[in-house]
A and B are shown apart, each in its own frame.
Chain A
Amino acid sequence: MPHEDDLTRRSFLKALGASIALAGLDGCTRIPAEKILPFVTQPPELTPGVAVHYATSMVLDGYATGLVVEAHEGRPTKIEGNPDHPASLGASGILEQASLLQLYDPHRAKRVRSGRAPSTWQAFATAMSPAALRQRVGARGTGLALLLEPTSSPLIASALASLQTLYPDMSVYYYAPLLSDASSTALTADGLIPQYDIGAADVILSVGSDFLAAGPFHLRYARQFSDRRRTPLTGMNRLYVAETGFSVTGATADHRLRCRPAEIEALLEALLEKLAAASANPPLIPGKSGTLFSSSPWLTAVASDLRAHGGNSLVIAGDRLAPRVHALVAACNEALGSTGRTVWYTRSPLLGADRANTNMSALADALRGGGVDTLVSIGGNPSYATPASLGFAAMLKRVPNSAFIGLYENETARDTRWFVPAAHYLESWGDARAYDGTYSIVQPLVQPLFGGKSAVEVLSALAGLPSADPLAVLKESSRSSGVARDEESWSAALRRGFVPASPLVRVSAGPRPDLLRSPASTSAAAGSIDVVFDRDLRVHDGSFANNGWLQELPDPVTKLTWDNAALVSPETARRLAVTNGDVLLLRRDGRTLRIPALIVPGIASDAAIVHFGYGRTGAEEVAKNVGVDAYQLWPTLGAFTVSGVSVERAGGADHHDFAITQSHWTMEGRDQARSETLDTYRNEQRGIAPQGPPSSRRQLTIYDPPQRLESPHQWAMTIDLGTCIGCSACVVACQSENNIPVVGRDDVAKSREMHWLRIDRYLEGPAEDPRVVTQPMLCQHCENAPCEYVCPVEATEHSPDGLNEMIYNRCVGTRFCSNNCPYKVRRFNWFDYNAHLSETEQMAKNPDVTVRERGVMEKCTFCVQRIREAEIGAATAGRPLRGDEIKTACQQACPTNAIVFGSLTERDSDMMRRREESRLYGVLNELGTEPRVRYLARIRNPNPQLEDGR
């Protein structure tokens, strides 16, 4: 029976006729009359149309990462890493890349608010000035409390110090939900943080640490780690991972062990017993601990491997594991002789890190005590990102005089009397220290778009200081703290973005013996399920939840977009009788979390991984109705592993559909993402590909032989799967550089995501305990491009320098090319995704790349805008162009240098040298496509003692 809204044949033909007639009129539009507005006075550093770059730093959870930001005509358009900065080494992560979109987010707060009424900054400054505030909080500031995000900024420190002289009894608290002090409480001295030299470690055991993809120094660690894997035959390192979830680091491991949280502690106890067996003074109570793993062959092999490399081995613990785990890890490193070589300790550069009375639970106590009259909360989102059982939101509402300074009118903004929009880091002067203490400068590139105020401006207002030039304040602060004594050293530091050689001194410390000898802090109750609350790589603690680039970025392992889920292993799913998308009820202490299950092979059984940062209810429109708020179930601050959670399937037809970009896990018997062990690679120098190097097995093909291309450069790319960790920084970098639209959850579910570069993730080996290969997949720029043969309008063509070109203004959208592409890298604009962007979002677009309309096919261009710009630059200067002067956006962001771009004609380039390796292959080259992108197979370095390779 036909539905009422079905189109009849007659009305269909009417619509068809009308659209043809109207489509004809579309061609009659004329180029609109445009205005040209030159400067009144030309700034000498600025030439219209020529991008300028400024060094700055982004601060996340208190630590700085050095960046270089590209600006076109005064608007930042692209963020890159600062090659000289120790936390970046030229690379950038997904959050750094995506912070550009955050700057332009139209949902950012735009007005000062007092109660429900709009107000002004002056009114806020007057109400919070000492004259007014002393009446409320007393002359010594007893009733005044500040809540800040963790910070290492000397500028904020001096602002706080001058405020403290005004209000001696004022209390300052710092809070970031994901920052744990477990590693520092595990040591004999307070306020210490571990520093690693990953590059010096031959053997690494990571216990629940995602050091390659998360944490303040992850870009540096990933670079150091990959440098030991680039040439597998010389000094390749080995990585063991024991973890509950499935992290990027776990996916990179040579051997991975799935453990429940309690097993991790037992594993370390057993490891320490084995390592310290020879010691006269055993750190643990003998015979009482480590029994679970004492005869495990995995642990025996790991222990002997670690011991064999002595001081060149390293054990790393996940930040958010229990203090005792950190103490055990520190003891293991001590027993190995690694302390002082691959790991050492320094004071934390974070303010208040050495005092326990500055954390959130101290603030909660103070609020409960009722002594707080005025609470000024700068940044973060404490009402949302605290355990629901803490009741912070309710306590904040009861504070008589409260203010929140934030980028968004989020959950916390609802609970305070005053709200002031905060300035983005690209809008305000500031400073911070990197994880190793390097003094880094936060340099703005634009005036505040929405009138935001920086933390220092707010603190100055509290101190009653007249508003001063923020740059002058920063210069004065850096002069008095001695980092830049004169104008000359200041401008050198500003140009560089940081002051080199300002790292922290080493402090000797060891694990607390009482912690080692105390009983296990976690227990594995059989049959119950442990819930691990984890950082989401994309939205962090929820502060990046309103970012479309990040929401649409597939999770590196699960490939989930626009959602969070309870990640469970296949066995656990069977036991709970759930399939993907079935809603689980997680219950603890009378709180229930309804969250859909997602089955992920490789996760520890009897565990569920839940990511923070979703289920937002603030004024952030993009983040609304995305995922579930895991903070609702979080029982206590600092406890990221929770046992005794009852988990059951919700009754009825409760089901959730995920938007996942890659639903298959295996290669289905093909070998597009190849991997091999180091031994095999060493032995079979003739090449590891089962059928021999691809070039030697050219088959009969229906294609003409590739035409001889006449151009001084022949562009090509080599991607090393051995160093690719799948972190997805390249995907966001590509999105930012190439104006790739965000399509939204519904369209991702229909496989309409627009990413030109995606990371394919394949599992190998046993289904429950798989190994992973990640593979960046982009247009392969085939010399015999199948897409080119089928385009009826020649909208995709081959250039003389070997690019597969896509010409948007010719494309009529038949999508034949996409159907004929064996790599599935072409994307079609189903809708006019760019049509309704706000004015500020339009400012994020790269002016060197066309913004595509509906009905047009698009794909990776090898960043042709960068190629042409470099060619024009070299030709204008009258000098030859070196192919390796050009870096594509993905290459530039990559923390591990897995991607190299260059010209086939330059034999001495890095890209060509990599092509001489026998593990080189072209994906699906047996089809005769002759791709210009070639891959190096992943080399694993398994321990020969672990025969099954696990």
Chain B
Amino acid sequence: MAALFPPWANTVVRATLVAAGCTLVGVPVALMAWVRTPNATRRYQPVAQPIAFDHRIHVTGQRIDCRYCHFSVERAASAGIPPSTTCVACHSDTWMSSKELALVRSSVATGQPIRWNRVNALPDFVYFNHAIHVAKGVGCETCHGRVDRMAAVYQAAPLTMSWCVDCHRDPASHLRPLSEITTMGWTPPVPQRALGEELVRENNVRSLTNCTTCHR
């Protein structure tokens, strides 16, 4: 009886099996790699805002402390987005008639809030608290990057769970003195490891990695 399949069919079968195996392993691996890319985590993508607020001018130029606008960072979960009147507090003297500030003027006049676009978003099942991180010596820059150099703010950190947990496992390598929380471009005067361990002791920093630290 003649063979049903020619000899090269064996090669086809082997190649197909190998390809299937590669796909089965490769597709998940590729997907897992992709979700970690800046493109998937939306890292480094400047977000357009209704007002072209430039942090460079306000932080570097005017030397305004982060906490002047992000007023609740030391006492609440959210750092706080400044109310329209905070803008007016300074701008009543300067640039008030600028067209850049048109939205602020109309907001104060009509009582309607300015609709900013969120830059750093966490899933709803993650409960992040700014106050405790600031109190334990995590600087603004550590997560938000060099905001003083951003024309339009972008997300500087990947905000993946592994990124969070890296620091929670080893806080010493990321802490800074409480006096330097809002400093941009801070470099440790002594090796970070030694300083960090000192700060862990001084501020009673705990390495919390259990689930309900963030998920409730």
List chain A positions with a Cβ less than 8 A from chain B.
Answer: 31, 33-42, 47-50, 797-801, 803, 805, 807-810, 848-851, 861, 864-865, 868, 872, 875-876, 878
Contacts and interface: CB of A to CB of B under 8 A. Distances in A.
A36 B76 contact: no
A779 to B, nearest CB: 13
Which 3 residue pairs spanning A and B have beta carbons closest together?
A38-B81, A799-B210, A34-B118
Contacts of B204: 875
B117 A31 contact: no
Contacts of B82: 38
A41 B215 contact: no
A47 B75 contact: yes
Given A800-B210, A848-B216, A849-B216, A809 B114 contact: no
A805 B111 CA distance: 44
A774 to B, nearest CB: 29
B93 interface: no
B136 to A, nearest CB: 7
Nearest to B71: A42
B83 A42 contact: yes
Contact of B117 (A36, A49, A50, A850): A36
B211 A35 contact: no
Given A40-B107, A48-B76, A805-B211, 14 more contacts: A35-B116, A36-B81, A36-B118, A37-B115, A38-B113, A39-B113, A42-B85, A807-B211, A809-B215, A848-B216, A872-B131, A875-B135, A875-B204, A878-B135
Contact of A850 (B75, B131, B132, B215): B215
B118 A35 contact: yes
B59 interface: no
Given A37-B116, A40-B113, A861-B216, A805 B129 contact: no
A31 B72 CA distance: 25
Contact of A37 (B80, B108, B113): B113
A576 to B, nearest CB: 51
A731 B131 CA distance: 32
Given A36-B116, A41-B84, A805-B212, A875 B132 contact: yes
Output the residue of B72, B115, B127, B216 with the most chain A CB within 10 A. B216
B151 interface: no
B212 A47 contact: no
Contacts of B118: 33-36
Contacts of A49: 72, 76-78
Given A33-B117, A872-B129, A799 B212 contact: yes
B83 A40 contact: yes
Interface in B43-88: 71-72, 74-78, 80-86
B5 interface: no
B33 to A, nearest CB: 14
A865 B74 CA distance: 19
B96 to A, nearest CB: 16
**Majority SS at the chain B contact face:** loop
Contact of A40 (B85, B129, B131, B216): B85
Contacts of B81: 36, 38
A423 to B, nearest CB: 24
B116 to A, nearest CB: 5
B121 A47 contact: no
Contacts of B71: 42
Contacts of B76: 47-50
Most buried by B among A36, A797, A850, A851: A36
Contacts of A800: 210
Nearest to B119: A36
Residue from the set A33, A798, A807, A876 with the largest chain B CB neighbour count within 10 Å: A876
Nearest to B132: A872
Contacts of A864: 212, 216
Given A31-B123, A48-B76, A876-B75, A38 B84 contact: yes
Interface of B: 71-72, 74-78, 80-86, 107-108, 111-118, 121, 123-125, 127, 129, 131-132, 135-136, 204, 210-213, 215-216
A876 B75 CA distance: 8
A798 B127 CA distance: 19
Nearest to A809: B125
Contacts of A851: 124
Contacts of B111: 40
Contacts of A878: 135
A39 B83 contact: yes
Contacts of B113: 37-40
Contacts of A865: 127, 216
A712 B97 CA distance: 57
B131 A876 contact: yes
Nearest to A798: B210
A876 B121 CA distance: 23
A48 B130 CA distance: 12
A848 B116 contact: no
A876 B205 CA distance: 11
Contacts of B215: 805, 807-809, 850
Nearest to B74: A876
Contact of B80 (A35, A47, A801, A861): A47
A868 B78 contact: no
A850 B85 contact: no
Nearest to B129: A872
A447 B135 CA distance: 36
Contacts of B135: 875-876, 878
Contacts of A810: 211
B214 to A, nearest CB: 9
10 contacts: A34-B121, A40-B83, A42-B86, A47-B80, A48-B76, A49-B76, A797-B211, A798-B210, A864-B212, A868-B213
Q: Which of B78, B123, B211, B215 has the most CB of A within 10 A?
A: B211
Nearest to A851: B124
Contacts of A50: 72, 75-77
A876 B72 CA distance: 13
A775 B80 CA distance: 44
Contacts of B77: 49-50
B115 A35 contact: yes
Contacts of B85: 40-42
Contacts of A848: 127, 216
Contacts of A805: 210-212, 215
B130 to A, nearest CB: 9
Contacts of A33: 117-118
Contacts of A41: 83-85
A579 B216 CA distance: 45
A853 to B, nearest CB: 10
Nearest to A866: B216
B124 A850 contact: yes
B125 A40 contact: no
B164 to A, nearest CB: 13
Contacts of B213: 868
A785 to B, nearest CB: 14
A44 to B, nearest CB: 11
A31 B132 contact: no
Contacts of B116: 35-38
A875 B137 CA distance: 12
Contacts of B84: 38-41
Contacts of A35: 115-118
Contacts of B127: 848, 865, 868
Contacts of A48: 72, 76, 78, 80
A878 B75 CA distance: 12
B121 A808 contact: no
Contacts of B212: 799, 803, 805, 807, 861, 864, 868
Nearest to A43: B83
A808 B127 CA distance: 13
A101 to B, nearest CB: 22
Contacts of B132: 872, 875-876
A38 B216 contact: no
A39 B136 CA distance: 28
Contacts of B72: 47-50
Contacts of B114: 37-38
